[in-house]
Structure 1
Amino acid sequence: MYIPYGKQCIDEKDIESVINVLKSDYLTQGPKIREFEEKVANYHGVKYAVALSNGTAALHAAYKVIGLDVDDEFITTPITFAATSNGGLYLGGKPVFVDIDKSDYNIDVTKIEEKITSRTKVITPVSYAGFPVNMEEIKKIANKYNLKIIHDAAHAIGARRNGYSVSDIADMTVLSFHPVKHITCGEGGMILTNNEEYYKKLLLFRTHGITKNIDEMEAKDGPWYYEMQELGYNYRITDIQCALGITQMEKLNGFLCKRNKIAEFYDKNLIKMDWITTPKYFNKDWIDTPLYSNLHKKPNNLCSYHIYPILIKNKSNRRAFVEYMRSSGIYVQVHYIPLHLMPYYKKHFGYKAGDFPIAEDFYEREVSIPIYPDLTEQELNYILNKIYTFKF
């Protein structure tokens, strides 16, 4: 048996959609890209969406168009994938980490202000595991110090907190469509925004800084003409990928419902294991009754459960547990190695062990157990049985 911690869920409609594009005139730079962008934008209630080749490209683009420059500082969490910070590093920015909150594993909002300096330009919170970070409080801080917000919501498409979607408050919100995420394009990323200026800059940055929009060009030499107005990258996504994204989006609500049901299964059955801590915020208070029947009426609060992180109370048992589960065919994972402990960050920014004790303690205990919509009842019971029978 092989059960990964996460995987894509592809059906015949997805396959048919991709095949139709392969038979069409446009494999890239065609109509499916805009169709996918509009579908995601409408779902989140924003004006603009720009699809890119992957989530890392999206983060890089967001930092660029928001104006991050050499030696500017951006504030983020150490418990995230490298891309959250690397997108700013590409532009010469400096990552300033803030420790996490024990209650939800997101950035500790109460510690952000003490890290703000005259060089701070951006706050980049992450909604870890799909639990929405407290954007309302972060927005208050950003307004006070005239800072911008890039919300890394790669874990949190469709998530909501206090009636707000993940894209309602930030200047830009970044999504990822990697196969282990809620929906996939194979690879892919997207930026959501209500800012028209950012939108236009993102379109340029995605395609070498080139425009073919006649209203934006200095000259109008003929139908072949285009202008490179800025220095950009080839961060384009293909119609093949977007065709898959379109049909995946049609299933997103169902995927979110299934993830919540699996999380509730774990909540109920792991509470009896005194050597495990389940996430305190993953509880029924965050699951509205209408969730399981439909999501057309969006709930005020919704965790999207990209992962289900458990903590091993005795950290010395974590490695043995991971090896035991993997030897049983259950490929649990650890999310994440704190960025400040990576050799690159220690070498270039002087970070060291002990700088962020809550994040470090979390890392030493955390294990992500499988959660994805195609998990069967048999597989869930198998996972549970293996956890129950683990011997220290």
Structure 2
Amino acid sequence: MSERFLPYGRQSIDDSDIKAVVEVLKSDWLTTGPAVAHFEETVCAFTGAAHAVAVSSGTAALHVTMMALDIGPGDEVIVPPVTFAATSNAVLYCGARPVFADVDPRTLLLDPEAVAAAITPRTRAIVGVDYAGQPCDWDALRALARRHGLALVADACHALGGEYRGRRVGTLADVTVFSFHPVKPVTTGEGGMALTDDPGLAERMRHLRGHGITSTAAQREAAGGWFYEMTSLGYNYRICDIQCALGTSQMARLPGWVERRNALARRYDAALAGTAVRPLETLPDIRHARHLYVVRTPDRDSRFRALRAAGIGVNVHYIPVYLHPYYRSLGYEPGLCPVSEAAFAEILTLPLWPGMEDGEVDRVVRELLS
């Protein structure tokens, strides 16, 4: 029997998830109903955040965050280049300019010294990305944000379930953004969420996700009224109850999944020790969510082709954002962040998800090193 194809990541669905979704399908509310609020409350209880706003994607969460912070034309927002394009795209959506600051070569996390050098009088916010599931140096980024009066945003789309110095991801910045794409720690199919302790920011993001309208259909139904007003220019970034029921069900298994991801990562670490393939470093005093297992190897492209031919779905995360053609058209040039560009030539993402078997890690390593 042939060995199964190993993607770099995948969802984990069981009967409890299916049951939760079916219960919503049999209910009166398929969208803007009670399952949305329940999911938000569940994530707040897990992370310790005061408020959560569930939306249609991680990108939507980033966008409503930038709008709620009043980011606009003439503003600059500091972001790392080693991330998915949505991180900086959300800045562009608001008419502002992303300013790319380089990363630490050991971890590919945003380098606070590079951030400090990038701050100008136009800087309004810093966005740290918890790349691969490892939290940034949030204390250092917070100190910079306070010193310069800047908003601090955590793009934690990789890091639900992670911790930084005893604090759970979700409480480390002014706003924290999660994604619930199928390869992420928890999935709703598509979906995202913005968390904050600021009730004003939370209320503004809720309005923005629903066309800028002052109430939801469920709220009007409960009040027995019909009247509503549009008070700002918002978007249809709503997430439905079907998705949120799945997300709530998944949250119950998140701690076990994070532990399993870390166990698999330790197996990779041990097998690759002393070889030419170098895993990214894990910092002390953090709990890695292990969304991705990324290594560096100087012959990345040949290893990529060989592993794909062997049925192992390795990937590359990411091309530095400013090297994409659209960003080049905006005037960004190669050489802007040399650490990120050097890393891009070597990084390779190996398969990792909770349902992987120990022997499948051994298979990946065997093929990787052959």
The answer to whether residue 317 in structure 2 is matched with residue 319 in structure 1 is no
Distance 1:310 1:169 in 2: 27
What is the CA–CA distance in structure 2 between the aligned matches of 1:335 and 1:39, rounded to whole Å? 30
Query: Which residue is 1:293 aligned to?
Result: none
Q: Does the alignment pair 1:22 with 2:25?
A: yes
Aligned to 1:376: 357
Q: Deviations over 1:36-67 (max 9, x none)?
A: 00000111101100000000000000000011
Amino acid at match of 1:366: I
Instruction: Give 1:156's aligned amino acid.
Output: A
* CA distance in 2: counterparts of 1:325 and 1:187, whole angstroms: 28
- SS state at 1:223 partner: coil
Counterpart residue number, 2:323: 341
In the other structure, the counterpart of 2:69 is 66
Cα distance in 2, alignment partners of residues 195 and 266 from structure 1: 40
Q: What secondary structure, in the 3-state scheme, does the structure 1 residue paired with 2:91 have?
A: helix
The answer to whether 1:123 aligns with 2:126 is yes
Residues in 2 aligned to 1:378 and 1:170: alpha-carbon distance in whole angstroms: 39
108-117 or 40-49: bigger deviation: 108-117
Q: CA deviation at 1:388?
A: 2.7
1:124-273 equivalences in 2 (<5 Å): 124-212=127-215, 223-273=225-275
The aligned residue for residue 351 of structure 1 is 332
| CA contact 2:160–2:170 (8 Å) conserved in 1 | no
Change (3 A) 1:65 1:378: same
Deviation readout 1:276-298 (Å, 9 max, x if unpaired)? 1111227xxx5xxxxxxxxxxxx
Report the Cα distance in structure 2 between the residues aligned to 1:193 and 1:64, rounded to whole angstroms: 14
The alpha carbon displacement at 1:334 in A equals: 0.3
Structure 1: unaligned runs, 5 residues or longer: 287-299
Distance in 2 (alpha carbons) for counterparts of 1:385 and 1:129: 23
Q: Distance in 2 between matches of 1:138 and 1:371?
A: 29
Question: Paired residue for 1:328?
Answer: 310
1:303 aligned residue (285, 288, 291): 288
**Residue aligning to 2:16:** 13
2:16 match: secondary structure = helix
Corresponding residue of 2:280: 279
Deviation at 1:380, TM superposition (A): 1.9
**CA positional deviation for 1:222:** 7.5
Q: Is the 8 A contact 2:11 2:187 kept in 1?
A: yes
CA distance in 2 between counterparts of 1:301 and 1:101 reads 16
Query: How far, CA to CA, are the matches of 2:206 and 2:30 in structure 1?
Result: 19
Match status 1:365 vs 2:346: yes
Paired with 2:271 and 2:280, the residues of 1 have a C-alpha distance of: 13
Encode CA deviations 1:330-375: one digit per residue, 9 max, x unaligned. Answer: 0000000001111111111x22111111100100000000110000
- Separation (CA, whole Å) in 1 of partners of 2:368 and 2:306: 9
TM-score scaled by length of structure 1: 0.90
- Partner residue in 1 for 2:58: 55
Alignment partner, residue 291 of structure 1: none
Q: CA RMSD in A?
A: 1.7
CA distance in 2: counterparts of 1:126 and 1:240, whole angstroms: 28
Question: In structure 1, how many angstroms separate the alpha carbons of the residues matched to 2:235 and 2:294?
Answer: 36
Determine which of 1, 5, 10 is the counterpart of 1:2: 5
Query: Could you tell me how far 1:148 is from its partner in structure 2?
Result: 0.3
Counterpart AA for 1:345:
Y
Q: Which amino acid aligns with 2:280?
A: P
Give ranges in structure 2 of 5+ residues lacking alignment. Answer: none
Letter in 1 for 2:131: Y
Shift of 1:111: 1.5
Give, in whole Å, the separation in 2 of the partners of 1:255 and 1:230.
Answer: 40
The residue number in structure 2 matching 1:290 is: none
Give the whole-Å Cα distance in 1 for the aligned partners of 2:69 and 2:168. 21
**Change in CA separation of 1:385 and 1:85 when aligned onto 2, cut-off 3 Å:** same
Identity of aligned residues (%): 41
Contact 2:134 2:286 in 1 (8 A): no
| SS at 1:211 equivalent | coil
Q: Is the partner of 1:210 in helix, strand or coil? A: coil
Where 1:379 maps in the other structure, the secondary structure is helix
- Aligned mate of 2:106, from 85, 103, 109: 103
TM-score, length basis structure 2: 0.95
One-letter code aligned to 1:186: G
